[in-house]
A and B are shown apart, each in its own frame.
Chain A
Amino acid sequence: MELKAGISPTIETQQLEVNLGPQHPSTHGVFRMIATLDGETIVKLKPVMGYLHRNHEQIGERITYIGSFPFTDRLDYFCAMSNNFGLALAIEQLGGIQASERGEYLRVIMAELTRLVNHTAVIGFLLNDMGAFGTPLLYAFREREKILDLFEAASGSRMMCNYVRPGGVREDVPEGWLERTRAIVNAFPRFLDEFEKLLTENEIVQQRCKHVGVLSKELAMNASVTGPMLRASGVNYDIRKVDGYSIYPRFTFRVPLGTVGDVYDRYYVRILEMRESLKILEQALKGIPGGPAISPKGQAIGKAPRTFRPPKGAAYGRIEAPKGELGFYLVSDGSPQPYRYHVRAPSFVNLTVLEDLCIGHKVADVIIILGSVDIVMGEVDR
């Protein structure tokens, strides 16, 4: 760090341009970073994306509102349930649909389970990027798999759930599902304790993560960074609290905040967020009422998607997805297809600050900074 960039009295040095990716195990998908290096230090870094671009929005404008649901599963393929939830909220806003009580509870349970899935996986990947090859990731995947089994039992698919609908959920959970979920939720804190024992006080993890990739509060707000990354920088902004969408105001939970905004904070905020999610889950599993899992109007739409013609207008529905603010902007012209269908993807916008985080750090740090941003290319490229 003492060496001034490019200045040496005897040796003439030259900056080097290096491609990290697009096919690299630690770029979390087909993602490329063009890094300009001075020795080992990053001087400039330009992210290149779009390798997974499917023009999701164009597809969404050609099919019915309901037809978009399976495609949203494939946006952020770790959090299919949350993506469905976001689109369902936007459609509800547009069409003025009320969700059934049980449906709301089930959606919140699914969304919070998704948060557990996402955060365990991303911490595993972060450790993988750090060089702890395999072990923490597999421990994380072991727990994730238990929750994915729950998703499979409820929706029929582990990852491409296509389960949440405007008005509730597609079908009620099978018998015994809630008990199974309770058992898994009750056992989860023990895994988290163990996981923390493995990582939180590990000196290697601390030395790799602390004061690396610091994101200041001001920049985080200015650059529209959302989700755990924003809260790790100390900004208290959680859409579950701010908007109070769905039935979140009924639950007591806290919003964990970081102080420094480095990689370590981003890691630790996620751990704490999982603990808060468990609190929500406990309350939701306790308070879930009986009744239909979907409201009559929602069911009618699901049965005959082409009959759903929302009035002319626009709606912006947003949720606190595990990665940040997931927004759906829908414009209706009164036809069964949306006139405009836009996805505000959290990890896409969070990447804006990647260069700022990386400048001045070493190449090895770039990898863990990228890991701590938590991107999924299906969502970035859409």
Chain B
Amino acid sequence: MIGAGVLRGMGVTFKTLLETYPWGRAILRTLQIPVTDGIFTIPYPETKQQHPERFRYFPFLVYDGTPDNLRCVACKICEQECPPQSIHIVMEKDEQGRPVKAHGRTLPKQFDVDMSICMSCRICVDVCPFDAIEMDNEYELSASDRYEHMIFDKHKLLKSAEYFQKIKPTEAATVDQRLAAKKAKTASPTGDKPSQPSGP
């Protein structure tokens, strides 16, 4: 019969319609038809989607304790490896051009990430030998100005290690473990200049 296929198809849409209401689901259940919860959308921004822990957006810099004690040593590996070249780093130096040290480490004077170029690929995190850069899950960053608001400088990028532990507990735990192991391994805790990092 012509039209039978169309009618059967409309049966599917009708069933989906029923699935969106609690009473409809009750009817379907009494008819012993398998039911799914019919509502799949959420009323953003009133409710926000629950993102999985690994959800990544833009990178941030991790500091331990106080914002001047950042893990980054301005080694520029991430700047080099960043596929769209959105990272720009300048090392802190004194007048003679020697690297300045704080907490036994060199540090960046300038650390800019152009968020309008960044493509959230996570390669900077993968290559960082010091676990200094991590991925944030903050995504409501729309701005009206491309240069003023979308280029994040060092202060805007800095976030505490506690924040990292809060948003990504599992990953932070492994990172902390790794750092603790590294610390135990280095005999001199005063921290000489970290030698040129050679791979993992």
Interface residues of A (CB under 8 A from B): 59, 63-64, 66-71, 73-74, 135, 139, 142, 145, 149, 152-157, 160, 162, 170, 174, 190, 194, 197-206, 299-300, 302-307
Whether A203 and B127, one on each chain, are in contact in the complex, defined by CB atoms closer than 8 angstroms, is: no
- Assess whether B101 is interfacial by the CB under 8 Å rule: no
| Residues of the B chain whose Cβ atoms lie less than 8 Å from the Cβ of A202 | 5-6, 8-9
A299 is contacted by which of B4, B56, B200 (Cβ under 8 Å)? B200
Contact of A300 among B4, B5, B199 (CB under 8 A): B199
Decide: A302 and B54 in contact? CB cutoff 8 A.
no
User: Taking A197-B8, A197-B9, A303-B199 as contacts, is the C-beta distance between A153 and B34 under 8 angstroms?
Assistant: no
A380 CB to nearest B CB, Å = 20
**In the bound complex, CA of A201 to CA of B5 (Å):** 5
Q: Which residues of A contact B126 (CB under 8 A)?
A: 170, 302-303
Q: Is the CB of A157 within 8 A of B123?
A: no
Q: SS class of chain A's interface: helix, strand, loop or mixed?
A: helix
Residues of B within 8 A of A154 (CB): 54
Q: Which residues of B contact A307 (CB under 8 A)?
A: 199
B14 CB, nearest partner CB in chain A, Å = 11
| Interface 9-mer from B21-29, B63-71, B114-122, B178-186 | B114-122
B51 at interface (Cβ–Cβ under 8 A)? Answer: yes
- Looking at the assembled complex, report how far the CB atom of B51 sits from the nearest CB atom of chain A, in whole angstroms: 7
Contact A157:B9 (CB < 8 A) given known A64-B81, A70-B119, A304-B199: no
Residue contact A153 to B54, C-beta cutoff 8 Å: yes
Is B170 an interface residue when CB atoms closer than 8 A count as contact? yes
Contact A142 B40 (CB under 8 A): yes
Distance in Å: Cβ of B108 to nearest Cβ of chain A: 20
B12–A203 CB distance below 8 A: no
Task: Answer yes or no: B177 CB below 8 A from chain A CBs.
Answer: no
**For the complex, what is the distance from the CA of A30 to the CA of B63, rounded to whole Å?**
44
Name the CB-closest residue of A to B16: A139
Contact A153 B5 (CB under 8 A): no
Nearest to A177 among chain B residues (CB) is B52
Query: What's the nearest-Cβ distance from chain A to residue B164, in Å?
Result: 14
Q: Which residue of A lies closest to B135 (CB)?
A: A156
Interface centre among B8, B81, B83, B126 (most CB of A within 10 A): B83
User: A residues within 8 A CB of B16?
Assistant: 139
A residues within 8 A CB of B43?
A: none
Complex Cα spacing A196 to B81, Å:
47
Chain A residues with Cβ under 8 A from B83's Cβ?
59, 63, 67-68, 70-71
**Which residues on B sit within 8 Å (CB–CB) of A152?**
51-52, 54-55
Question: Chain B residues in contact with chain A, CB under 8 A?
Answer: 2-6, 8-9, 11-13, 15-16, 34, 40, 51-56, 80-81, 83, 119-123, 126-127, 129, 135, 170, 199-200
Complex Cα distance, B119 from A198, in Å, reads 38
Contact status A156-B54, CB under 8 Å? yes
Q: Determine whether the beta carbon of B81 is less than 8 Å from that of A306.
A: yes
| Complex: chain A residue closest to B52, CB-CB | A153
Q: Known: A299-B200, A303-B126. Contact between A67 and B9, CB under 8 A?
A: no
Chain A residues positioned under 8 Å from B127 (CB to CB): 303-305
Known: A157-B120, A190-B34, A299-B200. A203 touches B54 (CB 8 A): no
The 4 closest A-B pairs by CB, nearest first: A70-B121, A201-B5, A156-B56, A153-B52
**Nearest-CB distance from B177 to chain A (Å)?**
15
Known: A69-B121, A201-B5. 18 other contacts (CB 8 A): A66-B123, A67-B81, A70-B83, A152-B52, A152-B55, A153-B52, A156-B56, A160-B120, A174-B52, A198-B8, A201-B8, A202-B6, A202-B8, A299-B200, A302-B126, A303-B127, A304-B200, A305-B81
> Given A67, A135, A155, A200, which contacts B54 in the complex, CB threshold below 8 Å?
A155
| Chain A residues whose CB sits within 8 angstroms of the CB of B81 once the complex forms | 64, 66-67, 305-306
Instruction: Specify the chain A residue showing the minimal Cβ separation from B129.
Output: A303
Q: Which residues of A contact B12 (CB under 8 A)?
A: 194, 197-198
Residues of A within 8 A of B54 (CB): 152-156, 174
